[in-house]
């Protein structure tokens, strides 16, 4: 992307030297060219594959990639702004941009010029402001839970420059979290339940009570197939699963390996932009299973999810486990359709395509 990211990354013929990695239409990383900053700057990239680890090694050693220069005035403005938030006199920035405009987000690793990493920031334009504000509020609330100290970031503040808003947080550990759901994942979800959990009916959770309003808000943006599909699903939640007893709590809603890290002892969970209150316990576990299955190219079978929820004691009965999975799929459908509308896209992505397949096969779920 020759123009970089509006308001944040501006390419220039003269300016601050960086090395650019990644393609124009997907993720892009800008790593400072200064030798003492390359290794720590490469920590902005947290790979989960062997190929990704090789790329990070290249970043750390300043090989491959493309030599570029970023506009000094733009970079200096953000350096001064973020230095003020973290309480340092002088900082440098490693940057990572993902997503298509207008939903592009730029992640920033805030570095001291001595070669140490100090904090993390996410910067985005108006259509992502609500998500960043939500993350800031959620992290402030999580900061009051002593048992979660060192397991989630602390928000250091929100700051605005023009149309761009930034949320600044403490750092995550450098090592990627496990790709298989295990005791560490169960432990942090249990802590959220202990801190915020309440006994409710599925019908009384915010996921269920907001379903009709979300459906109506999207109505004009849905094709006839999706309108019918969501009508059937929401009606089933209201009529078939409303009385299922659940625990409701704070849900991360994007709980997946790429949003976790580890210090070797405990799991650390970041990226709380889409977190929501009064959501059924169990949805984050389903999300982890669904996301990793898609990433690994495996199918997601309702019977696997239902059996898994039973094994983890996250559903009161087999019937209610089916209801939780349906509620999860409805929530994902609404979320991804909203993103599609904001981005001005018309076609379903891989997630919506898979959700549609599962919802259309719901008549066969009785055999799970």
- Per-residue HEC secondary structure of 94-140 comes to EEEEECCCCCCEEEEEEEECCCCEEEEEEEECHHHHHHHHHHHHHHH
Say yes or no to pLDDT of 3 above 70: no
pLDDT value of residue 307: 87
Residue 41, helix vs strand vs coil: helix
From 1.25.40, 1.10.3470, 3.90.1200, 3.40.50, which CATH number describes the 176-367 domain?
A: 3.90.1200
- Residue 234 per-residue DSSP state: H
Give the span between the Cα atoms of 185 and 267, in whole angstroms. 7
- Residue 24's pLDDT is 62
Residue 2: pLDDT band with limits 50, 70, 90: low
Host H or E run for residue 68: strand 66-70
pLDDT over 90 at 325, yes or no:
yes
Instruction: Evaluate if residue 237 carries a pLDDT over 70.
Output: yes
Q: What is the pTM of this model?
A: 0.93
Start-to-end C-alpha separation, the chain: 47
pLDDT of 367 reads 53
Whether pLDDT at 297 is above 90: no
Q: Could you tell me the residue ranges of all domains in the chain?
A: 11-171, 176-367
**Those residues with Cβ within 8 angstroms of residue 132's Cβ, 6 or more apart along the chain or in another chain:** 122, 124, 158, 165, 166, 167, 273
Contacts of 226 (CB under 8 A, 6+ apart): 333, 337, 356
Summarised one tens digit per residue, pLDDT across range 155-198 is 999 999 999 999 999 999 999 899 999 999 999 999 999 999 99
Average model confidence (pLDDT) across the chain = 93
pLDDT at residue 366, as a whole number: 58
Asked if residue 151 lies in contact with residue 177, where contact means CB atoms within 8 angstroms, the answer is no
Contact between 326 and 241 (Cβ < 8 Å): yes
Is pLDDT at 1 greater than 50 in this prediction? no
Cα 237 from Cα 278, distance rounded (Å): 16
Q: Which residue has the tokens 């990211």?
A: 5
pLDDT at residue 25, rounded to an integer: 62
Residue 59 has a pLDDT of: 93
């Amino acid at each position: 992307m020759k123009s970089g990211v509006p308001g944040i990354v501006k390419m220039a013929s003269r300016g601050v030297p960086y090395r650019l990695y990644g393609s124009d239409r997907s993720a892009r990383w800008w790593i400072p060219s200064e030798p003492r900053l390359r290794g720590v700057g490469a920590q902005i990239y947290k790979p989960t594959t062997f190929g990704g680890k090789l790329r990070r090694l290249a970043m750390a050693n300043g090989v491959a990639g493309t030599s570029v220069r970023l506009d000094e005035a733009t970079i200096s403005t953000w350096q001064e702004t973020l230095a003020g938030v973290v309480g340092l006199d002088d900082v440098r920035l490693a940057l990572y941009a993902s997503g298509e405009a207008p939903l592009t987000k730029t992640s920033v690793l805030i570095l001291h010029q001595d070669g140490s990493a100090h904090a993390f920031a996410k910067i985005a334009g108006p259509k992502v402001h609500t998500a960043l504000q939500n993350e800031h509020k959620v992290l402030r609330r999580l900061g009051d839970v002593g048992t979660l100290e060192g397991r989630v970031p602390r928000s250091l503040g929100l700051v605005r420059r023009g149309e761009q808003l930034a949320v600044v947080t403490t750092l995550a550990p450098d090592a990627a979290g496990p790709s298989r759901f295990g005791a560490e994942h169960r432990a942090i979800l249990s802590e959220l339940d202990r801190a915020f959990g309440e006994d409710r009916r599925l019908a009384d959770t915010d996921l269920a009570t907001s379903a009709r309003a979300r459906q109506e808000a999207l109505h004009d943006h849905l094709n006839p197939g999706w309108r019918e599909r969501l009508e059937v699903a929401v009606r089933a939640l209201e009529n078939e699963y409303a009385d299922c007893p659940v625990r409701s709590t704070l849900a991360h809603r994007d709980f997946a390996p790429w949003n976790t890290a580890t210090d070797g002892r405990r799991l650390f969970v970041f990226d709380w932009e889409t977190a929501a209150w009064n959501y059924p316990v169990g949805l984050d576990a389903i999300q982890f299973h669904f996301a990793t299955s898609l990433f690994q190219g495996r199918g997601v079978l309702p019977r696997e999810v239902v059996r898994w929820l039973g094994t983890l004691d996250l559903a009161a009965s087999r019937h209610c486990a089916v209801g939780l999975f349906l509620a999860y799929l409805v929530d994902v459908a609404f979320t991804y359709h909203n993103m599609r509308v904001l981005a001005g896209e018309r076609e379903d992505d891989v997630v919506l395509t898979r959700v549609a397949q599962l919802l259309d096969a719901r008549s066969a779920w009785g055999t799970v």
